Amino acid sequence: MVHAPNRPPAGAPPVRINLYSDTQTRPTPAMKEAMMRAEVGDEQHGDDPTVHELCDRMAALMGKQAAMYLPSGTMCNVIAILTHCGKGDEVIAHETSHILHSEGGTHAALTGVQIMPMKGPRGMFTADDVRAAIRPKTRYAPPQRLLEVEQTANIGGGAIWPLAQLNAVAEVAHEQGWSTHMDGARLMNACVGAGIAAKDMVAHYDSVWLDFTKGLGAPLGAVLCGDEEFIGRAWRWKQRLGGSMRQAGICAAACIYALDHNIDRLAEDHANAKALARGLRQIPGVVVEEPDTNLVFFDIRGAGMTVEQLQAKLAMRGVAVSGLGGRVRACTHLDVTAPMIEEAVSEIRTALAAA
């Protein structure tokens, strides 16, 4: 039986403070208005004007030649890997990466690549680590084809790769003739957090995608960017996988709305995450990682409770958090306010005191 991760226990009240994930935001009335007004066409035929507008804006934002609208971030990763690599190729990625842990075994099932899991603190590795991972080009070794990074690194604690490190690992990859791909599920959090423009952040990456369903608050969709030739080949995979859509402009309009209204405000989520970390740090037995962005990871083993026990106790109080990599993860996003943060700290303190 494959379970849904976030089902509240029987008898739990409705969730009033949702720190489970930044994917759980609800479209605002203004975003829905924008969706209702969208001009639409047949996206699969290339004539949805709103999807074109979104793709043009994304290509410009990322400083790439072209962009493609897709239903999800997972599909962006899968299509990018299928476009860059062939079966039996190797992808260099961090051992905590989403492509390794959270895409349903897609590489064994679909892409046929293998992943070399790189080590390093906070979901990152260095140029020296990449050099050490280079295999001899013999008939024995898998051909290495792609380097993949996550900006921000999710299980890495929402950490922002420093620009110099991001560029340095890409440089080694390009020296080897590999391509580079960025999983930008939370790229705009990194850009706002570091004060760096997206096109500068991704300049050394051949492909990059941004998710609109995380901090940006849209109900669905992600946009994959790259050069014309890459996006042209990626379209073949979009078609094959059933990712070509029809009147998708209705959803693309929500993404355009998010570009206009929900990027700068990510700074509020980061401030709320810092406030949450400060509050949690006052609770005996709780070890908190300092957040760079909107993800707060904390270890409660010292407080004598498991992640699942804490989740269950909080759920009965209408507070949702998730567990990831053996730690508790609390996400801030546009449906979480500063007073909710104070309340969440108090609920977590009370729950842990019962241990």
Quote the distance between the C-alpha of residue 199 and its chain's center: 18
Restricting to residues 180-219, name those near ligand PLP by CB under 6 A: 183, 185, 211, 213
Q: Contact at 8 Å (CB) between 106 and 260?
A: no
**72 — phi, psi (to 5°)?**
-150, 165
The nearer residue to ligand PLP, 17 or 208, going by C-beta atoms, is 208
Distance in Å, CB of 71 to ligand PLP, minimum: 8
Distance in Å, CB of 351 to ligand PLP, minimum: 25
The nearer residue to ligand PLP, 73 or 249, going by C-beta atoms, is 73
| Residue number, nearest CB to ligand PLP | 73
Distance in Å, CB of 155 to ligand PLP, minimum: 8
Angle at 15 (CA atoms; ends 12, 16), nearest 5 degrees: 130
The nearer residue to ligand PLP, 25 or 213, going by C-beta atoms, is 213
Q: Contact at 8 Å (CB) between 41 and 47?
A: yes
The nearer residue to ligand PLP, 213 or 311, going by C-beta atoms, is 213
Peptide bond into 23 cis (omega under 30): no
Restricting to residues 276-295, name those near ligand PLP by CB under 6 A: none
Distance in Å, CB of 311 to ligand PLP, minimum: 18
The nearer residue to ligand PLP, 44 or 72, going by C-beta atoms, is 72
Distance CA 264, CA 279 (A): 25
Q: Contact at 8 Å (CB) between 199 and 207?
A: no
Helices 249-261 and 49-62 pack at an angle, to 10 degrees, of: 40
Q: Which span sits near ligand PLP by CB under 6 A: 67-75, 110-118, 250-258, 276-284?
A: 67-75
DSSP string, 83-111: HH--TT-EEEEETT-HHHHSSTTHIIIII
Q: Contact at 8 Å (CB) between 93 and 120?
A: no
Assess 73 for contact with ligand PLP (CB under 6 A).
Answer: yes
Please pick, from the candidates 24, 50, 74, 207, the single residue that binds ligand PLP as defined by CB under 6 A.
74
User: What track of x and - describes contact with ligand PLP for positions 217 through 236 (by CB under 6 A)?
Assistant: -----x--------------
Q: Contact at 8 Å (CB) between 125 and 115?
A: no
Q: Which span sits near ligand PLP by CB under 6 A: 8-16, 66-74, 266-274, 309-317?
A: 66-74
The nearer residue to ligand PLP, 151 or 179, going by C-beta atoms, is 151
Q: How many CB atoms lie within 10 A of CB 24?
A: 18
Please pick, from the candidates 150, 289, 292, 347, the single residue that binds ligand PLP as defined by CB under 6 A.
150
Helix (H) or strand (E) holding 253: helix 249-261
Assess 269 for contact with ligand PLP (CB under 6 A).
Answer: no
Q: Contact at 8 Å (CB) between 133 and 92?
A: yes
Residues that bind ligand PLP (CB under 6 A): 23, 72-74, 98, 150, 154, 183, 185, 211, 213, 222
